[in-house]
Amino acid sequence: MSKPVKEMMMADYMAKLGENGDALLVNIRGVGANDTNALRKDLAKSEISVTVLRNNVARKAFEGTGLEPLGNLLTGPNALVYGAETVVEVARKIVDIAKDMPDMELRGAVLDGELFEGDEGVRRLSKFPTRDEAIAQAVTIVLTPGGKLVSAASSPADNIAGILKTLQEKLESGEEIAKIA
């Protein structure tokens, strides 16, 4: 393959990825053509793309980017899976699909420059919270002590209000109220 063709392919890889520095690497050797098409259609519904890679060209294209750690995994036939809002969502979808496609090999993934290698790494990544889930957890953590503080601060007032209501009911019914010394 000529150098200009390789450069065009590298530019194409980077154009497809855009500013996305996170992706997942799979080996779909052994997966039938119909299953591969179904896989692509299913992933496209979630705005996830699949690109089959030329290893040496991809390795050079990934140099100096967040995907550089995937370079060591680029042996044999590979496809790059990317898109959605985060690579965590991509990993969840691929792990779910892999249950029905035992021939698909999960090679690894990159999140913020960190490599999650092999099947176990991708499965571990799929259990991470997405950005929105992490924000929701952080908000909950921040607001919980405040809620407890408000509850604790208003608790004595609630107790006093309950005592006064009981006293009022006793007085209205004509009961005698004992003095506390």
Dump pLDDT digits (tens) for 83-130. 878 888 888 998 888 888 888 888 889 888 888 988 898 889 888 887
* Same-domain check for residues 124 and 38: yes
What pTM was computed for the model?
Answer: 0.68
* Same-domain check for residues 83 and 168: no
* Same-domain check for residues 47 and 119: yes
* Same-domain check for residues 110 and 22: yes
For residue 168, what are the domain limits?
A: 130-181
Tokens representing residue 105 in the block: 């090999």
Report whether 21 contacts 65 (CB < 8 A).
yes
- How many domains does the structure of the chain reveal? 2
Distance CA 16, CA 52 (A): 12
CATH of the domain at 103: 3.30.70.1730
Last residue of a domain, one of 87, 103, 128: 128
Q: What is the pLDDT of residue 181?
A: 56
Q: What is the pLDDT of residue 77?
A: 85
Distances (CA, A) of 123 to 55, 65, 109, 120, 127: 23, 23, 10, 5, 7
- Residue 48, classed as helix, strand or coil, is strand
Distances (CA, A) of 94 to 23, 26, 151, 152, 180: 11, 9, 44, 46, 70
* Same-domain check for residues 22 and 76: yes
